[in-house]
Every structure is written in structure tokens, then in C-alpha cells.
Amino acid sequence: MTVRYTALASKMLSGKLAILDGGTSTELDRRGASMDGMTWSACASIQAFDLLVETHQAYIDAGADIITVNGYASSRLVLEPAGLSDQIDTINKKNIEAALLARDRSGNPDVLVAGSVSHSLGFRSGVNKSIERDVSPNQFSEAFDEMFLFYEEGEVDLVLLEMMSLPIRMMPLFERASQSPLPIWCGLSARRKDQASEITGHHDGSILLIDNIHEASKHQFEGMGIMHTSVELIEEGIDVIKATHDGLITAYPDSGVFKSPNWDFEEVISPADLVTFAAQWKTSGANVIGGCCGLGPSHIEALAKLS
């Protein structure tokens, strides 16, 4: 663990609320970066490097203690089907470089840089559904190993497992994450069909959130939480996590609608309303609060007042 990670973790265990950044990809979208129908924001580091650095800096300026590498969509699982195999190394190393450069320029060396790994297989323009195709266990393992090697060699402080919701993809990722010397925070995504239904995984309504939490809990990650999920479900998710996880608790919702490859910001929650929810999450035990897709620097600036 890096000295800066240990320092912030110690503060959180003593009661400090740490502030995570907001959605990196959607903020790039809002600022005019090109979003691709198959790879979303994955190529921003080679197409709009300066804008990516500025986006990270905006979150630091807003009060984020932790910024997230733009790696959600940059694994081989997404880039290879798009014909970008020869760019995987460059894209990911530039992603890390952009976050580290933003921290250097901020003058705040205590900001943590978090790598991001997802189990996404890519995107389809105009459709808000998970891509399904045949991927072997070995392909998953090789792709996840590659992403972790980028982060383990790239001087990041921790790794976020993001939008975890499908066990068949989660399990090989959890296995690789458990082998990493880096601290791991596992972010599970959820939804609820209606008020009479139980909370399920985001991508498959037949998989209960509690079952995904139990699977993740087997690996004793440093942190676990609910992310890319409606604000109304976060508190209940925290309560379920606390029953099986005694480490750090993270909470970072999304807001708005994904109309691939762009985010629709029209109905995004206001910063003031987000803070009202976030204050409840803090009381419920969240140690880290931030935003996911749709939530930008103004939301993080408002959240920072809770820390």
C-alpha cells in the first residue's frame, strides 16, 4: 500500500468521510469528448488527453480525495472486438498518465489515484443493455490480468472493481483482484423493478444483490459498496453490505440515462438533493461517497462539504 493510501484509510477509520470523484466518462462527454458506439470513452486518452487531464483536475479542484483512472471501458474485452488490440497498451498507460499528471498539477500529492476495472464486454449505440457474447474463462482471466498489471506497474494507489453484477464475469475478476498487492474496493451495481420487488444486480433481474454481495464478501476486499445505482437504493444496499463486510463502505450513485454512446443529463439529480441522500449514507456507515455516471464536479463540490 502507498503511504498516501494508508494515511487516508487511517483517517476514514477514525471517522473522516473521503470524497471520490464523479463520472469521468460522462464528464468527458459533457465537455465534448467523442463517445464511440462500441468503446464509449475508451479512446479519450489518445484522442483528447488534455481534456482527460482537465477533467481529473476539475474533480480535484472540487474537493475529491480520490480520482478514478478512465479505465472502465479500456480492457481487452471491449477494445479487441472494436479492432483496437494494437492500442490497448497505449490507451491504458495514457489513462494512468493523465490521472497522475492531474494530481501533480493540482499541487495536492495526497490525492489517491484509483484504477478502474469492469467486466463490460462493450457497448451498442442507442441500446442500454449489456453486451452478450461467448467469452471463455481464460479470455476473462487474461483480460483482467492485463488490466491489473497496468495498475500494479503504473503507480496507482488502489483499484476499483466497478459495476459488478454478473457472477459469471465477476468471479474470475475477483480471483485476480485477490492476488493483487493493491487495495481493492468492490463496487456492486443494483436496480429494483418496482417497490414490491427485491433489489437485484443491475444487468440481470434474476440475480439478487444480496447473492452478489455474499460472493464478493468471500474475498475480504478492503472496501465494498454500491455504485452506478439509483440514489433511492444506496442506503438499503449499505445496510445489506454491513451484514457481511466489516471494511470500508463506498457509495457513488449514477443519475440520468445512458443513450449509448452518450449520457442524457436532462434529469440528473441536483447537487443539493444528492447531499441530502449522502448525509443519510454517511450516517449509515459510508466511509467514501462520490458520484458515478451523470454526476459532475458541481456534485462533488457539494459532497465535499460533508467531509
Which tens digits make up the pLDDT trace of 264-298?
999 999 999 999 999 999 999 999 999 999 999 99
Q: What is the pLDDT of residues 21-48, one digit of tens each?
A: 999 999 999 999 999 999 999 999 999 9
Residues 63-82: what's their mean pLDDT? 97
Predicted TM-score (pTM) of the model is 0.95
Q: Per-residue pLDDT for 118 more than 70?
A: yes
Q: Given pLDDT bands bounded at 50, 70 and 90, which one contains residue 197?
A: confident
| Residue 20 amino acid letter | L
- CA-to-CA distance for 118 and 160, rounded, in angstroms? 8
Q: Per-residue pLDDT for 50 more than 60?
A: yes
Q: Across all residues in the chain, what is the average pLDDT?
A: 95
Q: Are 188 and 210 in contact (CB under 8 A)?
A: no
Domains and CATH numbers, the chain: 3-306 (3.20.20.330)
Residues 46-71: what's their mean pLDDT? 98
Non-local CB neighbours of 45 within 8 Å, separated by 6+ positions: 52, 70, 74, 90, 91, 92, 94, 95, 97, 98
pLDDT at 171: 95
Non-local CB neighbours of 217 within 8 Å, separated by 6+ positions: 224, 244, 245
Nearest to 76 by CA among 127, 136, 144: 144
Residues 43-62: what's their mean pLDDT? 98
% pLDDT > 90, the chain:
90
Nearest to 297 by CA among 106, 26, 101: 26
Q: Per-residue pLDDT for 128 more than 70?
A: no
Q: What number of other Cβ atoms are within 10 A of residue 127's Cβ?
A: 12
pLDDT at 126: 55
Q: What number of other Cβ atoms are within 10 A of residue 239's Cβ?
A: 11
Q: Are 250 and 187 in contact (CB under 8 A)?
A: yes
Residues 166-184: what's their mean pLDDT? 96
Q: Per-residue pLDDT for 246 more than 60?
A: yes
